[in-house]
Amino acid sequence: MKTRISPKITAQPTRGLVDEKIYIRVSNLIPNEKITLRCLLLSEDNDFWHAYGLYISDDKGVVNVAEDVCLGGSYTGTEPNGLIWSLKPVPGSRPALRLRKHNVFTPFLLNISVHKGHINGDFKDASSLALTVIERWYISPGVSRVEISENYIHGTLFLPPGPGPFPGILDLWGGGGGLVEYRAALLASHGYASLALEYMSTQNTSINVNNIGIEYFEAAIHFLKSHPRVSSEQVGIFGLSFGTSVALNIAAKGNRISPRCLVCISGSHAVKINGTIGDVFTNLKEEGGKIMVDENNHFIWKELILPRLADPSKKVKVGNIKCPLLLIAGNDDQNWPTVDSARDMENMMKAAGNEHLLTTLIYPKTGHLIEPPYSPHTRFSNFISAFNQEKGHRSICKNGS
Query: What residues form DSSP beta bridges with 11?
Result: 24
The beta-strand segments (E) located in 138-272 are: 144-150, 153-159, 166-172, 193-197, 230-240, 262-265
CA geometry: angle 184, 188, 193, nearest 5 deg? 90
- One-letter amino acid at 33 equals E
Whether 327 and 345 have beta carbons less than 8 Å apart is answered as yes
Q: Is the dihedral of CA 50, 368, 237, 198 positive or negative?
A: negative
Alpha helix ranges (H) inside 306-387: 338-352
Q: Which is the catalytic residue, given 68, 171, 332, 333?
A: 333
> Annotated catalytic, 232?
no
> Annotated catalytic, 311?
no
> Annotated catalytic, 294?
no
- One-letter amino acid at 288 equals G
Q: Is 377 helix (H, G, I), strand (E, B) or coil?
A: coil
Chain mean position to CA 120: 29
Residues in contact with 13: Cβ distance below 8 Å, sequence separation at least 6, in sequence order:
20, 22, 134
Distance CA 92, CA 110 (A): 20
CA geometry: angle 272, 276, 279, nearest 5 deg? 75
Distance CA 46, CA 104 (A): 16
Residues in contact with 124: Cβ distance below 8 Å, sequence separation at least 6, in sequence order:
none
Alpha helix ranges (H) inside 306-374: 338-352
Alpha helix ranges (H) inside 61-207: 82-85, 182-189
Q: Which is the catalytic residue, given 241, 268, 375, 381?
A: 241
Q: Which is the catalytic residue, given 344, 368, 381, 385?
A: 368
| Listed residue (298, 278, 280, 304) closest to 390, CA to CA | 278
- Just list the catalytic residues: 241, 333, 368
